[in-house]
Structure 1
Amino acid sequence: MPSILNADLHCHSVVSDGTLTPEALAERAAANGVELWALTDHDEVGGQHRAMAAAKAHGMRYLTGCEISVTFAGETVHIVGLGFDPDDAGMRAGLRATRGGRGERAKEMSAGLARVGIDGAYEGALQFVGNPELISRTHFARFLVESGVCRDTSEVFRKYLTEGKPGYVPHRWATLKDAVHWITAGGGLAVVAHPGRYNFTANEEHALFIEFQAHGGRAIEVVTGSHSPAEYVEYAEKALEYGFAASRGSDFHSPDESHVDLGKLPWLPGTLTPVWELLEDRIQ
């Protein structure tokens, strides 16, 4: 496939913490000129067959996708898997175990918010959840905006849901080794999602990239809705430095919340190897 391609390989549906169905996302992506698409719900592959069928109906090529939460150096890091078998038993079992802790974490978050006078947050967040196994901070944020506590989800995170704030509860996710293994054992390719978003020192980021490579990781997101234009340049240089392929994805969640719409990102710099060139035989 050509290196200049409107590929959007990172977005979320109601199956995790997005607000649109896989079918509605496919329609929106196609309308915005996306040629190669992947739905990458958090820790869940339940929407993959729907997304694949919807992509085909709209004339788009499709790569299976998932965004897996891992813990590395005390931070939550996201690893996107692309091109794997969505019915792989090992991956499904691993993701099921990763999802298992979200419910208890959500109840602890609600208790923390109640201590500062915000009652009923768990029940309120559930109103915004498409899949109760995947209740997350995003669902709490939507409830707090809807109930008038904050103006927008950015304010919610800043005041209530980041480390040191009343509703923050850390969660122990999968290991980096586990996530990369699940993806590669299922025939896919692992990508570090939005590396510019993590609060790592230069040494910690280097350790992440080296360990990721050691486990079989092959790519990083360079052009993503979570990066600034300066970070596009920074992570293009780092992709070349470490020998990573480059991915491109909006990280779209909702028409009302996302910084960048599906298919509306700048192109990948031409000096990079696009991740889809390594996945040609996995594209549907």
Structure 2
Amino acid sequence: MQYDLHLHSTASDGALSPDALIHLCAEKGLKLVALTDHDTLSGIRAARSAAEALGMAFIPGAEFSCLWRRQTLHLLGVGLDIDSPVLQDYLDQLTAIRQQRAEKIASKLIKKGIDASVLVRAQAIAGEVSLCRPHFARALVELGAVRSVKDAFDIYLGQGKVGDVKAEWPDIERVIELIHQAGGRAILAHPTKYNMTFTRLRLLFEELKSWQCDAIEVSYPGLNPDQGRELLRWVKHYGFLLSAGSDFHSPESSWTAPGRFPEIEVNDQHVLSALVPSGQFKALWS
């Protein structure tokens, strides 16, 4: 594909710096990309500068954690005004939420016999970006508690494990409103990855529509073709725009790469039609 609306860098839990990520996208032949790091905009300026130097179209974004009926979901906000004061205040709140969560994760790991330096090590690995579970995973490897990042998630940090601490994220309705206040479009990310039945997913879609969510991500790596067809049917039924992206994090993940996801048609039903000026849109996709 020649675009990707779901990419991560070292500004959150990706493996490549924003600059290196954009260069990889260029090598893959992409014409347009959005950087969507978790709950942060700290990589946007470097990524946009690299994209401009390479002649690529760039869309600023973020992937926001939020709650719907006590379940954690992810919303992509794309086309954001990164200088929006409302957005900056909100991101400061999210940083505090992530720090509280990190302290809880560390406390639980220490009670399981992990060295008390695990939080300090994880923070050092994270540097100035938001502290996430992958940083704890690398800290556990450094401490010799596990052999690999994968083992860290399998034993300590994955779903249902001791370090799987749920944060009290803001409600999804509030996040949609915030994205719109910052001039962006709200997209539900990878809907089949939340282990919902389609009955529950349709309930979510109904409420998202009432809250004016703009689009649903309907193409991404790992999407079962049968699920994909059912997903697309209901997304069109509720009248959402379509979106797609690789959710790329690392070159070490052989199952994904920038621009690698099942092809969908780029037309006036695609969220890009609402993000890119009509003249540029036709030039990019004709």
Same fold (TM over 0.5): yes
Query: Contact conserved, 1:197 with 1:226, CA < 8 A, in 2?
Result: no
1:236 counterpart (232, 237, 249): 232
2:90 counterpart (71, 94, 98): 94
Which consecutive residues of structure 2, in runs of 5 or more, have no partner in the other structure?
A: 282-286
Q: Tell me the CA shift for residue 126 of structure 1.
A: 2.1
Q: Tell me the CA shift for residue 35 of structure 1.
A: 1.1
Q: Which amino acid in 2 is paired with 1:60?
A: M
SS of alignment partner, residue 179 of structure 2: helix
- Which residue of structure 2 aligns with residue 246 of structure 1? 242
Q: Using the alignment, how far apart are the partners of 1:146 and 1:159 within structure 2?
A: 15
Query: Contact conserved, 2:176 with 2:186, CA < 8 A, in 1?
Result: yes
Answer with 24-33 or 257-266: which moved more: 257-266
2:108 counterpart (108, 112, 119): 112
- Which residue of structure 2 aligns with residue 85 of structure 1? 81
Q: Tell me the CA shift for residue 211 of structure 1.
A: 1.8
SS of alignment partner, residue 87 of structure 2: helix
Q: Tell me the CA shift for residue 233 of structure 1.
A: 2.9
- Whether 1:126 and 2:123 are equivalent positions in the alignment is yes
Query: Contact conserved, 2:267 with 2:273, CA < 8 A, in 1?
Result: no
1:9 counterpart (5, 11, 16): 5
When residues 212 and 250 of structure 1 are mapped into structure 2, their CA distance, relative to the original with a 3 A threshold, is same
Say how many residue pairs are matched. Answer: 279
Q: Which amino acid in 1 is paired with 2:128?
A: N
What is the CA deviation profile of residues 84-105 of structure 1, one whole-angstrom value per residue up to 9, with x for unaligned ones?
Answer: 2111111121121122111121
The 5 A counterparts of 1:39-58 are: 39-58=35-54
Q: Which amino acid in 2 is paired with 1:87?
A: D
Q: Tell me the CA shift for residue 204 of structure 1.
A: 3.0
Q: Which amino acid in 1 is paired with 2:62?
A: C
Q: Identity over the aligned pairs, expressed in percent?
A: 36
Q: Tell me the CA shift for residue 43 of structure 1.
A: 1.0
Q: Tell me the CA shift for residue 148 of structure 1.
A: 4.8
Q: Tell me the CA shift for residue 32 of structure 1.
A: 0.6
The 5 A counterparts of 1:119-198 are: 119=115, 120-132=117-129, 134-198=130-194
Q: CA RMSD in A?
A: 2.4
Q: Which amino acid in 2 is paired with 1:94?
A: Y
Q: Using the alignment, how far apart are the partners of 1:258 and 1:174 within structure 2?
A: 33
Q: Using the alignment, how far apart are the partners of 1:107 and 1:149 within structure 2?
A: 18
When residues 267 and 42 of structure 1 are mapped into structure 2, their CA distance, relative to the original with a 3 A threshold, is same
Q: Tell me the CA shift for residue 221 of structure 1.
A: 0.8
SS of alignment partner, residue 222 of structure 1: strand
What is the CA deviation profile of residues 119-170 of structure 1, one whole-angstrom value per residue up to 9, with x for unaligned ones?
Answer: 23212322331434x1011211233345554454444333322454221211
Query: Contact conserved, 2:8 with 2:249, CA < 8 A, in 1?
Result: yes
2:16 counterpart (20, 28, 32): 20
Q: Tell me the CA shift for residue 272 of structure 1.
A: 8.4
- Which residue of structure 2 aligns with residue 214 of structure 1? 210
Q: Which amino acid in 1 is paired with 2:48?
A: M
Q: Using the alignment, how far apart are the partners of 2:197 and 2:228 within structure 1?
A: 18
Q: Tell me the CA shift for residue 270 of structure 1.
A: 6.8
Q: Which amino acid in 2 is paired with 1:84?
A: L
Q: Which amino acid in 1 is paired with 2:108?
A: G
Query: Contact conserved, 1:252 with 1:258, CA < 8 A, in 2?
Result: no
SS of alignment partner, residue 125 of structure 2: coil
Query: Contact conserved, 1:194 with 1:226, CA < 8 A, in 2?
Result: no
When residues 155 and 207 of structure 1 are mapped into structure 2, their CA distance, relative to the original with a 3 A threshold, is farther
Q: Tell me the CA shift for residue 106 of structure 1.
A: 0.8
Query: Contact conserved, 1:69 with 1:173, CA < 8 A, in 2?
Result: yes
Answer with 250-259 or 44-53: which moved more: 250-259
TM-score (norm 2): 0.88
Q: Using the alignment, how far apart are the partners of 1:226 and 1:129 within structure 2?
A: 28
Q: Tell me the CA shift for residue 171 of structure 1.
A: 0.4
Q: Tell me the CA shift for residue 179 of structure 1.
A: 0.9
